[in-house]
Structure 1
């Protein structure tokens, strides 16, 4: 074997297991394996999980918070200052920031990423081309899906529609959209589906990013998804407006989303920071209703969105920290809720991204992380060190630490 994990915990309440890896795949999982391996890692009861999945991030505009701060903390100013900065981004600048961000994610146990890479006539394809190059450079270390993302809209930014097709021809993995930042929104959504069908690619919308329910388009997205036979191939990020709906209006939408098999990426670091800025009292959390969506059969994910820019002026590249933030903000700390959080940064986003061969089962890809905790249920709230990260059967990260009590 290439790697043998000895006595790791895969599930709470079950006996410890040995996990053997060979040729980039999980070769065997048994109570005890009598095999030789090039690398033996003593688990000592620590938790082994599938690689973390960062399902919604923007690599090309990370780490720019100090250049033109968003002083009001509003979405409107975040959009404004970022639009001002984008034409100043050189290729060298984007490479530096995106690569540093990638390394932050990898260090923290991420093995799969979906990044939204934007372009428009004012900045061209500089950021998009750079991210595509980094995708290739880091192949075998982290799997990257690139979304062709029209941040400034498509129809209201002449020339962007042509660029969408060009981005797909250049190898984009996903068709992106942002209905709330374009007009008419229905034509925007229709065009995104038209492009996706032409290239047979999945769709990922920035969706209904508002504090209130006015102007929501998620119902149209559901109807379009079903009509076009795109069930299970559409994801939406933010969807904060849904949190402002009373139950009698919310429930039918959730049922329609479940029917359309639409996945939702909640982005608590950004949404908590930007949301509710105009509320003078009883300030809203401004999150999508995570528990209601989950309980309604919607594939619920948690992701980071941005790291240290006008939309989110903090972040370390650790999606587990983002999940920890979602626990109190989304009322996910109850005894029945807590076990559902880890899947929101592992198996659920892997399903949303249609990642094949994911999970700790014989025959699957050997993308795993050994955590410094002995409880699967508490894996997020323990905020454990990622002792070993294995991608495609190779150790990519090893964390060494030493702590002494001096009393």
Structure 2
């Protein structure tokens, strides 16, 4: 049994937390001394979600001289053919361990299935299996080059589903014609229903205000009764849509139960590349979506790959960027912003028994922050990361992997 003394909860209460048989067994005054952790009246919260990431490209450390999305895609198209399966596994495991050390216990990753040998998918399937004791990973079959841009890509997507992926991906704005964009969304839902999978798409990741595939996604979600099982990643075109259109479409997004996943670290550097000054921020407007009752969760997207040369796996960095870009600086906005990487992610993932309640799985972060504002301000790693009642990471430096403690670096070398 673990007892965490003097834990400050999000509602301000200071309590003991008792853990027994992988679950929270006590909140209040808890007895037990098998293992004691003194939280010292610092914040103890549920762990983080990273709802959009690319483990297959992490730590490839490509040199993108222009820093643009398009050069990144060209680099990746060449690199994915040359990189070995073992390299992908090593790089991805490094990224996973960093995320865990910084408090993320759920990672949804997109894997490029238009790499026709499926070595990327095999690698990430192995990473998912090897790291299952410390993190939950979902794999989205991601048609990077589009479903109908090249003959046979649609069958690759189907084949990926037969190889155990968790979600159906799509990228309608990357199809050659608008008609193919529509067709790709319909096809993704056909597969989702055939295989009983969620839909997890890259949607309207462009500055083009005429890119409006989100409305098609809404229509297909409702018609197929897939409410609550669809996420739309990026939707950066929303930043360029006029206010009247957003006013019309956002209530339908909420009705469909679609979760929108902005990726602020990457969106802000890849979008607005055709702009002079002022430049568009290139991020779906979080406050406006929340006010429309849309579930919004955040993704880290990339880490030291052809699209983003930075990143240490800290979801607080993602949140820090988000609240700046969307000017979420009111006191209540700051406090509630933690939901973007916690409870909203749990809703999109459909995690049951999430949060610090008696009977829930004992997944906890013991931080060194007095409150949410300090947590975001300092962006420090948790002192302790607890998963299913077991300490699996400490101080952002140590992770328990395959029964052994490892000291981490932020590099694969």
TM-score range, shorter chain: over 0.9
- 1:251 aligned to 240, 244, 247, which one? 247
What is the CA–CA distance in structure 1 between the aligned matches of 2:243 and 2:82, rounded to whole Å? 45
CA drift at 1:377: 4.4
- 1:63 aligned to 59, 64, 67, which one? 59
What is the CA–CA distance in structure 2 between the aligned matches of 1:237 and 1:317, rounded to whole Å? 18
What is the CA–CA distance in structure 1 between the aligned matches of 2:220 and 2:157, rounded to whole Å? 20
Contact 1:153 1:181 in 2 (8 A): yes
Contact 2:143 2:171 in 1 (8 A): yes
- 1:358 aligned to 354, 361, 365, which one? 354
- 2:195 aligned to 195, 199, 205, which one? 199
Aligned to 1:44: 40
Write the deviation string for residues 88-147 of structure 1: whole angstroms up to 9, x where unpaired. 111111011111111111111111111111122x44210111111111111121011111
1:77 aligns with 2:71: yes
What is the CA–CA distance in structure 1 between the aligned matches of 2:388 and 2:164, rounded to whole Å? 22
- SS of 2:249's equivalent in the other structure is helix
What is the CA–CA distance in structure 1 between the aligned matches of 2:33 and 2:387, rounded to whole Å? 17
Aligned to 2:169: 176
**Structure 1: 4+ residue segments shifted above 6 A:** none
Aligned to 2:24: 26
- 2:393 aligned to 393, 397, 400, which one? 397
TM-score, normalised by the number of residues in structure 1: 0.94
CA drift at 1:400: 8.5
CA drift at 1:266: 0.7
Aligned to 2:157: 164
What is the CA–CA distance in structure 2 between the aligned matches of 1:37 and 1:115, rounded to whole Å? 39
What is the CA–CA distance in structure 2 between the aligned matches of 1:325 and 1:254, rounded to whole Å? 23
- SS of 1:285's equivalent in the other structure is coil
TM-score, normalised by the number of residues in structure 2: 0.92
What is the CA–CA distance in structure 1 between the aligned matches of 2:70 and 2:216, rounded to whole Å? 24
What is the CA–CA distance in structure 2 between the aligned matches of 1:400 and 1:93, rounded to whole Å? 24
Aligned to 2:411: none
- 2:292 aligned to 291, 296, 310, which one? 296
What is the CA–CA distance in structure 2 between the aligned matches of 1:42 and 1:230, rounded to whole Å? 44
- SS of 1:17's equivalent in the other structure is strand
What is the CA–CA distance in structure 2 between the aligned matches of 1:134 and 1:337, rounded to whole Å? 36
1:215 aligns with 2:214: no
Contact 2:107 2:135 in 1 (8 A): yes
Contact 1:23 1:393 in 2 (8 A): yes
- 2:92 aligned to 94, 98, 122, which one? 98
Aligned to 2:370: 374
What is the CA–CA distance in structure 2 between the aligned matches of 1:26 and 1:154, rounded to whole Å? 45
Unaligned runs of 5+ in 2: 398-413
Give the alignment of 1:94-133 within 5 angstroms: 94-120=88-114, 122-133=115-126
What is the CA–CA distance in structure 2 between the aligned matches of 1:154 and 1:124, rounded to whole Å? 16
Aligned to 1:404: none
Unaligned runs of 5+ in 1: 402-407
CA drift at 1:385: 3.0
What is the CA–CA distance in structure 2 between the aligned matches of 1:400 and 1:86, rounded to whole Å? 30
Contact 2:141 2:165 in 1 (8 A): yes
What is the CA–CA distance in structure 2 between the aligned matches of 1:139 and 1:218, rounded to whole Å? 33
Write the deviation string for residues 202-222 of structure 1: whole angstroms up to 9, x where unpaired. 110101011131122111110
CA drift at 1:260: 0.5
- SS of 2:56's equivalent in the other structure is helix
Aligned to 1:4: 3
Q: Cα 1:187–1:328, aligned 2, differ >3 Å: closer, same or farther?
A: same
Aligned length: 394
Aligned to 2:230: 234
Contact 2:103 2:381 in 1 (8 A): no
What is the CA–CA distance in structure 1 between the aligned matches of 2:138 and 2:360, rounded to whole Å? 19
CA drift at 1:51: 1.0
Aligned to 1:16: 14
CA drift at 1:378: 3.7
- SS of 2:106's equivalent in the other structure is strand
Write the deviation string for residues 65-107 of structure 1: whole angstroms up to 9, x where unpaired. 3x3x222222221111111111011111101111111111111
Give the alignment of 1:243-322 within 5 angstroms: 243-322=239-318
What is the CA–CA distance in structure 2 between the aligned matches of 1:48 and 1:203, rounded to whole Å? 32
What is the CA–CA distance in structure 1 between the aligned matches of 2:276 and 2:13, rounded to whole Å? 53
Aligned to 1:405: none
